[in-house]
Amino acid sequence: MHRSRTASSSSLRVVAREEAQSTAPSAALAQLVSDAVRIERAPHDRARSLSRMPWTESSFASVRRSRGAALTRSSEIEIDVRIEKTAVHPVCPAPSCPPRSERRRVQAMASAGIAVFEWSPNGDRLHVEGALHEGVEGATCRDALVSCFDPAQRAALARALEDAARSQQRIEMELRVHGRDEWLLLRGEGRAEPTPHVIGALVDVTDAKRRSEALAQALEAERASRHEAERVNRAHEEFVAMLSHELRGPLSAVLGWAQILRSGACDQPTLAKAIEVIERNARAQERIVSDLLDVARALAGKLLLDRGRLRVADPVRVVVEGLRAAAERAQVELSFGPIARDAFVLADVSRVEQIVSNLVSNALKFTPPGGRVRVSVERTTEVARIVVEDTGRGLDAEVLPVLFVRWRQVRRSDSKRGGLGLGLSIVKQLVELHEGRVSATSEGVGRGSTFVVELPLVGVTERPDAVLAPMEASTALAGRRVLLVDEDRDAVELASRALRASHAEVVATSSEDDAWRELESGGPWDVLVAELGAPDERGRSLVHRWRLRERETGAPHLPALCASVYARAVDRQRALDAGFDEHVVKPVASHALVAAVASLVSGARVPR
């Protein structure tokens, strides 16, 4: 390129490189000599254009009419010396010390996360400026660009670059930087001249990639959450439908037999049958309500235990004996043994009974007539094992993993009897609260099943204090005076009958005021049994007032039993704080009520 400036004119003449090549530099100098009195030549300089033009050599000449005269003309000649310069400074890699202005440009591109590149499939040309300049330093020309990225993407990138260079196509790929959690978007275009090559740019899209991945993860989490919510909703709907079914069944039986009894047209066998059906279905409803309450307590983290040392065989025997009638109705043989009598654990006796009752009831439910259910208690060096085996319908392998999951019902094609899907989940929770474990095994459908509960052993040097030795109720309560307070007249009559059947003298009242008058004037009393129909001060205030009277007068301590429909730990504690000695949850079986009263009379504690 030839640029000519004159002192008398401000015009600038630009000569294209092709024109400069056709005009010899000597002709330009000759023109200067013919017009000049004096020619002053400046040293030539070699520099590389900021716009990535080839290397050039520049010469400058100044023309003056005489020494000291004003400058009349100056001239500059630039000669392309690319071939010479390339021989000394190869284009790959880029110069280690680029001009200051070029460094600024590279730094600006790096700050913006942009790099430009020129790549040739023949390996004779590679130029990268910007973000990846350091990454290709010292690499071979052909592989430098490709080697910057994840090895898993290199082959595809190399093929794409070669195809773009040879067919002059556009290329766009999202690539991961090797060894880093960074992503670049490569965009380029193939060129044919002077040789096939690709020019393009690399843009840092790491932040956008991370935002996209975070959004994808959030969407996936939202979908999973929605699906789980839908599953839970379906499970709840199924549960409500099943709960309705489970409640209506026993209610229908109770109401139906109650109408038969009301008609009066029933003989003694029919009367006995009606009583048996009503009692059985009422207990079924009681179990449903108890299971629901236990689930609510478990979800709230309030499923508490009242633990003490006990012989495992004792509550297991109580449950087995209580279910013999159900086994006979189902025509299933129920056996108990072998029994390890030296297996003691630290446990809540009522919860152990609940665990065993759920497992044995399930075994009876799913064992066909003529089958067998065997319950045994074993002892190892570390645990007591309660084993419930049956010859019933067995379990599919796919059912075992979800057997103890709440709300999940095991569907059996050959059985119409279902359930709420709560019993086994409650068993698992209760066992784990005792630091134990429960498991189930089955060899397949039609081959029975085995459930095993393991509870950690405790030392047996001390006498177990959580289990009362059996006693004759008639001996314990004979001649004892019991003051009974309950607002529910039906409950009062039922409790009175049970206590009187044990030869106790019972005075029943239905209000706190009546009970207070009896305490003051009708004594002495051996036991007070008060019902709490609401979680307020009724009943508690009666006992609290009497405890104050005892302290004022020095009267002997009157044992007091609280019977309440409220079964939370806080309800029990409130009753004890008010002055009650024990707390039992209604509905309470007649024999359990008699045992609780007898225990208070004898000075023993009641297992809860």
Q: Measured in whole angstroms, how far is the alpha carbon of residue 453 from the centre of its chain?
A: 26
Q: Is the pTM value of this prediction over 0.85?
A: no
- Angstrom distances, CA of residue 29 to CA of 3, 366, 411: 13, 115, 106
Least confident of 39-43, 333-337, 592-596: 39-43
CB 470 within 8 A of CB 417: no
Mean pLDDT, rounded, for 138-150: 64
SS3 state at 87 = helix
Q: Token digits for 79?
A: 């000669």
> What pLDDT sits at residue 536?
47
- Angstrom distances, CA of residue 595 to CA of 286, 301, 320, 498, 537: 20, 30, 19, 11, 26
CA–CA gap between residue 188 and residue 200 (Å, rounded): 4
pLDDT above 90 covers a percentage of the chain that reads 11
CB 167 within 8 A of CB 197: no
CA–CA gap between residue 587 and residue 295 (Å, rounded): 18
Per DSSP bridges, beta strands 333-339 and 372-379 are parallel
> What pLDDT sits at residue 37?
41
Q: What angle do CA 424, 428, 429 make, to 5 degrees?
A: 115
As a dihedral over the C-alpha atoms of residue 523, residue 524, residue 527, residue 530, rounded to 10 degrees, the angle is 20
> What pLDDT sits at residue 376?
93
- Say whether pLDDT at 263 is over 60: yes
- Angstrom distances, CA of residue 241 to CA of 238, 244, 426, 505, 560: 5, 5, 20, 47, 42
Confidence class of residue 8 from pLDDT cuts 50, 70 and 90? very low
Residues 445-456: pLDDT tens digits? Answer: 888 899 999 999
Higher pLDDT, 36 or 76: 76
Q: What angle do CA 551, 557, 562 make, to 5 degrees?
A: 110
Report the phi/psi class of residue 51: left, alpha or beta, with left for phi > 0 and alpha for psi in -120 to 50: alpha
Q: Token digits for 69?
A: 């005269």
pLDDT above 70 covers a percentage of the chain that reads 69
Domains of the chain: 2-88 (no CATH), 100-204 (3.30.450.20), 233-298 (1.10.287.130), 305-456 (3.30.565.10), 473-602 (3.40.50.2300)
The upper half-sphere exposure of residue 567, i.e. CA atoms within 13 Å in the direction of its Cβ, equals 19
Average pLDDT, the chain: 74
> What pLDDT sits at residue 157?
86
Per DSSP bridges, beta strands 38-47 and 56-64 are antiparallel
Per DSSP bridges, beta strands 183-191 and 197-204 are antiparallel
How many Cβ atoms from other residues are within 10 Å of residue 515's Cβ? 24
CB burial class (10 A; 0-12, 13-18, 19+) of residue 233? exposed
As beta bridge partners, residue 2 has 15, 77
Residues 324-374: pLDDT tens digits? Answer: 888 998 899 999 988 888 889 988 888 898 899 889 988 998 899 999 999
Mean pLDDT, rounded, for 394-407: 78
Q: Token digits for 368?
A: 């066909």
CA–CA gap between residue 388 and residue 376 (Å, rounded): 7
Q: What is the 3-state secondary structure (H, E, C) of 149-176?
A: ECHHHHHHHHHHHHHHHHHCCEEEEEEE
> What pLDDT sits at residue 388?
94
